[in-house]
Chain A
Amino acid sequence: MPPLIELRNVTKVFGGSIKDKDTGKVTVALDDMTFVLEEDFPHIITVAGESGSGKTTMLMLLLGFYEPSAGEVLYNGKNIWKMDKEETKDFRRNVQAIFQDPFAVYNPFYKVDNLLSIPIKNFGLAKNKDEARSLMESALTRVGLRPEETLGRFPHQLSGGQRQRIAVARALILRPKLLLADEPVSMVDASLRATLLKQIRDLNQELEIPVLYITHDLTTAYHVSDYILVMYKGSVMEAGDVEKVIRDPQHPYTRLLVNSIPWPDPNMLWGQAAEVVRGKSITENRGCKFANRCPHMTNMCIQSPPPLYRVREGQVAACYLYQGSSVIERADLSAMFPKREAASVKS
């Protein structure tokens, strides 16, 4: 059976043609990315990186909002840009997203019911109004909202946390096979963040919906996800088991990120973040993309991009510091995210 969704050698460039990719004239947002996700994968994978790392581009490609400059995005083995109407509808239903801004997804002129009733109508999920109503109510209850306090209200009457939970409820109504969450808690208050993340985690575990959690916040990534993919300028820098990657990062870029996390503990202050600033792009788009800022740069780094080295079981890093280790092909990256039988994370 083909995987649920697959990025096959996908490159996305902005500001010009793919032919100019190596000239430095265009922005390469995602660079030759291959990524496979199976169905019924009860894990959360974090895609982490700073702005400009390509994480949002990856999301837009997976949702079919951007067309790849090269390569293919496959859903059940079919290119999403070549599917017929029925297949597209199936794709739209099964791949759902929660976005960052809990204000922007609502039309302020409509009651919040609208967000829930439209998918029910479009996909014919209910035979009549009562059935639609009970579907909406059960989805809201599921995310910890009281339907009588939520339905019939306008978006501005609800808090950011409530609105974001309705967005989760909307995705839930459709019983998707994949949930993409783009910074779902970055605009939600601290006291509600943990609750919202727990709900996403519970949905992922109980319904076995794989979740791609896209964020720059490594602290929430550490808590909510099983695996992590650290991106920089469109390429994977480090990937693997989240516990290993965050606790003991191997790539100099991941180390810089992890050392910059403001941990909420005044006794655990920011450590030394090793970063150097060299002039503009010494690698001429050939070598490692991080070489410009890397304290360990060698000549090798500016010649050709490093492959992914298996630094230990369950952790790979694209860095020549680990030359002695075995190499895994970028195309086999998903092998770093094995499906585990029992949920390894307590909830």
Chain B
Amino acid sequence: MNNNKVLLDIRDLKTYFYVKAGTVKAVDGIDLQLNSGTKLGLVGESGSGKSTVALSMMRMIRPPGTVQGQINLDGVDLLKLSAEEMRRMRLSQISMIPQGAMNSLNPVMRVKDQVFDGMIDHGTNWASKKEREEFLAELLRIVELPPKVGMMYPHELSGGMKQRVCVAIAISMHPKILIADEPTSALDVVIQRQVMETITRLARDMNLSMILIGHDMGLMAQSVDRLAVMYAGHMMELGDVKEMFSDPLHPYTVALIESLPILGNRGVFKGIPGIPPSVINPPPGCPFHNRCNRMMPDICPHKAAPYKEVRPGRWVSCHLY
């Protein structure tokens, strides 16, 4: 929240997949704004559509999937760009660390070549070999890796180091926005913390906007400024992270926060009964109504709740408000 310029403005994003069983409404009309220099957490259960939002932003949804709506990045609607223009945007303007990225490093390429690969493709030239090596050393330094890692192969690195290499690749061209999809899900608690601290420090130092995708509310509480909660392809609530935890408005957010293990109240378990609805030909009404403890039978099962700003910067989609 260093300044109030809206960097990313997503409007009515709909990502549908047309399959034999029907239409999978993976993302069903979400709006999302992100200011520059802000870290946004996007949480939801598996199947809630959070990764699909990220892939839609990267224009990496393939048929039978379709993307509709607007994704404005710094005034440019990504969905209107040609394939070649979009290719130029990736890495240089909008960059992503996909889920399980560390297992997708090329096992037979040195780390430095994997870092340079995308940059050279995007037209980066270095005056001399020395300059290129200096650039690499500096890049590795900011992700807290020793320079010798550049000459190594992925199998020589630990999980935490591989993840740092992925971060280095993602920020190598100084993008405006970084999307990290569960960047620490395969790491131990101590390493997870170290990697997250590096990522959040980078975001601060480089004034980078970041979208952190995950299901770990604890990690979100530690790392982000704003929190968005998704459920079955819909945006349920969005607000400042402290407010979201201290005063959750949507019954789903309330239940999600109550289900978390906190210090104190040991042995009290508050799960959310039921399971999420199918996103294939979803029923009308609020997607959470069949698990909601404040469901209003007259309206909730029949009409989807509008997504509206209930107070400045705080959005919620629920008939209660």
By a beta-carbon cutoff of 8 Å, the part of chain A in contact with chain B is: 50-51, 159-162, 189-198, 201, 216-220, 222-224, 242-243, 246-247, 256-257, 260-270, 273, 275, 345-347
Contact = CB atoms under 8 A, between A and B. Distances in A.
A40 B311 CA distance: 55
26 contacts: A50-B189, A161-B275, A189-B45, A189-B215, A190-B256, A191-B272, A192-B271, A194-B270, A195-B271, A201-B267, A217-B189, A219-B262, A222-B261, A222-B263, A222-B266, A223-B268, A246-B263, A257-B189, A260-B189, A262-B222, A264-B218, A265-B221, A265-B245, A268-B221, A268-B263, A346-B267
A50 B269 contact: no
Nearest to B231: A191
Given A191-B272, A222-B261, A257 B222 contact: no
A223 B267 contact: yes
A310 B189 CA distance: 27
Contacts of B197: 270
Nearest to A346: B267
B60 to A, nearest CB: 24
Contacts of B262: 219, 263-265
B98 to A, nearest CB: 19
Contact of B268 (A219, A273, A346): A346
B263 A195 contact: no
B241 interface: yes
Interface residues of B, number: 41
B273 interface: yes
A192 B193 contact: no
Nearest to A197: B269
B1 interface: no
Interface in B182-198: 188-193, 196-197
A268 B260 CA distance: 14
A270 B194 CA distance: 11
B275 A262 contact: no
Minimum-distance CB pairs A-B, first 5: A195-B271, A262-B218, A198-B269, A345-B267, A194-B271
Contact of B266 (A196, A262, A345): A345
Given A263-B218, A264-B221, A190 B261 contact: no
B66 interface: no
B217 interface: yes
A289 to B, nearest CB: 15
A1 to B, nearest CB: 30
A263 B263 contact: yes
A266 B242 contact: yes
B73 interface: no
Contact of A223 (B220, B266, B272, B275): B266
A197 B268 CA distance: 10
A167 to B, nearest CB: 17
B193 A264 contact: no
Given A191-B255, A223-B269, 14 more contacts: A50-B188, A189-B45, A190-B260, A192-B275, A193-B259, A194-B260, A219-B218, A246-B263, A260-B190, A260-B192, A261-B189, A264-B217, A266-B245, A270-B197
Contacts of B192: 260, 262
Contacts of A264: 217-218, 220-221, 245, 257, 260-262
Nearest to A223: B261
Contact of B242 (A161, A257, A261, A267): A267
B268 A261 contact: no
A194 B190 contact: no
Nearest to B46: A189
A266 B259 contact: no
Nearest to B258: A194
Contacts of B222: 262-263, 266, 269-270
Contacts of B202: none
Nearest to A161: B275
Contact of A266 (B45, B241, B276): B241
Given A190-B260, A265-B262, A275 B190 contact: yes
B216 interface: yes
